[in-house]
Amino acid sequence: MALELQSVSKNVDGETHISDVSVRCNPGEFNVLLGPTLAGKTSLLRLMAGLDEPSAGRIMMAGQDVTGLPVRKRDVAFVYQQFINYPGFSVFDNIASPLKIAKISKDEIAARVEKVADLLGLTPFLQRKPLELSGGQQQRVALGRALAREAELVLLDEPLANLDYKLREELRAELPKLFQNTGSMVVYATSEPEEALLLGGQVIVLHEGQVQQAGATLEVYNSPASLQAAMTFADPPLNVLPAIKSDAAEVKSLDGDLTLKVNGNASAVAEGAKCTVGFRPHQLGLARTSECEVELKGRVTLTEITGSESFIHVEAVGERWTALAHGIHAPEVGAEVSLFLDPETAFVFAGGAGNG
């Protein structure tokens, strides 16, 4: 039943959209496809759906080669960023539409639609037209169509991107639960790292058409395989510091002013070689929390307040970094602040920041 992409590439007009991608999705798994705009998320979803054919490579479904098989012969559901429903159909008929095409008995259709509507909280609106509903409800109808048909493969292309912030928060919490018991393979494309973390499951980190890393979401977040994977899976941006490995357990910044005792984290880097130290905003604090932290001086350029956390943009050691403070903290712009970093939690990647 698993979906497997084997060295799949896709070129359009001489441009590479997808380059040598091999991934495997298992039944019942919630897979998050994470990458910035233009990373090739939609291209990959279209290949998985069979809307496009790959230029090279094979697509296997349950061990069978389905590479050339058109989408209507596959068992796939697709939900888009835009709220796409049949405007003339009622909510009931919208959800029932794929079942009618599949020639399922009327009673069965009614039962399934009712079940799905109940799950999505759409029961009171079944007789309304989609345009009479709010954006969140419209997208629920589109999700309902995907749920009701119980497809083997459900593809979701940034389905929450057009919704208000709070609505997004609510639907995002519901989504993995909705698909949990269907046995479908779900692939959910998003450009927001935060969303990937909230959804959990498995993650495929995509950058410029190439898979940077794939695996359990938290594992990828906590131990990125490359600088690029760490940068793609980071919002706000990853803090980086170009450095040189000066000792078995130490790295020095390029100007030599800052020495970080990274211990075992730099084991992959040869001594004396260039490397890049990366750490996330929550690893850079405004208050000391442990003995091993290094204190750095920085100048505040802006504070972004999300409502329960503050991201403080600073200039320190000649770099632009972001520190995280819980709660609301808004130091004056231009103020000098102390920053605390535990070097042992930082990632150290071989090579410079530019070619990472």
Partner 1 sequence: MAEIHLKDIAHAYVPGEYALKSMDHIWQDGSAYALLGPSGCGKTTLLNIISGLLKPSEGQVLFDGKDVTGADTAHRNIAQVFQFPVIYDTMTVRENLAFPLKNRGMAPADINGRVEEVAGLLEISDRLDSRATGLTADAKQIISLGRGLVRTDVNAILFDEPLTVIDPHLKWQIRSKLKDLHRQFSHTMVYVTHDQTEALTFADKVVVMNAGEVLQVGTPEDLFERPAHTFVGYFIGSPGMNFLDVELDGSRAVLGDQSIDLKQAPAKKSGVQLGIRPEFLDFADQGISCQVTSLEDLGRHRIASVSISGQSAKVIVPSGKPVPSENAMLSFDPDHTLLYTDGYLEESLR
Shorter beta-carbon distance to partner 1: residue 89 or 311 = 311
Residue of 128, 261, 274, 282 that binds partner 1 (CB under 8 A) = 282
Amino acid making up residue 206: L
Binding of partner 1 at residue 60 (CB under 8 A)? no
- DSSP per residue over 158-222, as a string? STTTTS-HHHHHHHHHHHHHHHHTT--EEEEEES-HHHHHHH-SEEEEEETTEEEEEEEHHHHHH
Going by C-alpha positions, the residue among 94, 193, 195, 106 that lies closest to residue 146 is 94
Task: Give the shortest CB-311-to-partner 1 separation in angstroms.
Answer: 9
Phi, psi of 326 (to 5 degrees): -75, 150
Shorter beta-carbon distance to partner 1: residue 91 or 324 = 324
How many C-beta atoms surround the C-beta of residue 106 within 10 A? 10
Residue of 304, 318, 335, 338 that binds partner 1 (CB under 8 A) = 304
Binding of partner 1 at residue 123 (CB under 8 A)? no
> Binding string, 202-241, against partner 1, x = CB under 8 A?
----------------x--xx-------------xx----
Binding of partner 1 at residue 145 (CB under 8 A)? no
Residue of 13, 14, 15, 37 that binds partner 1 (CB under 8 A) = 37
Interface region with partner 1, contact rule CB under 8 A, candidates 21-29, 112-120, 269-277, 302-310 = 302-310
Which residue, chain included where needed, has tokens 């359009």?
12
Residues 25 and 194: their CA atoms lie apart, in Å, by 21
- Residues from 315 through 344 that contact partner 1 (CB under 8 A): 324, 326-328, 330, 333
Whether the CB-CB separation of 222 and 212 falls below 8 Å is answered with no
Whether the CB-CB separation of 208 and 21 falls below 8 Å is answered with no
Residues that bind partner 1 (CB under 8 A): 37, 164-166, 169, 191, 194, 197-198, 200, 218, 221-222, 236-237, 280-282, 301-308, 313, 324, 326-328, 330, 333
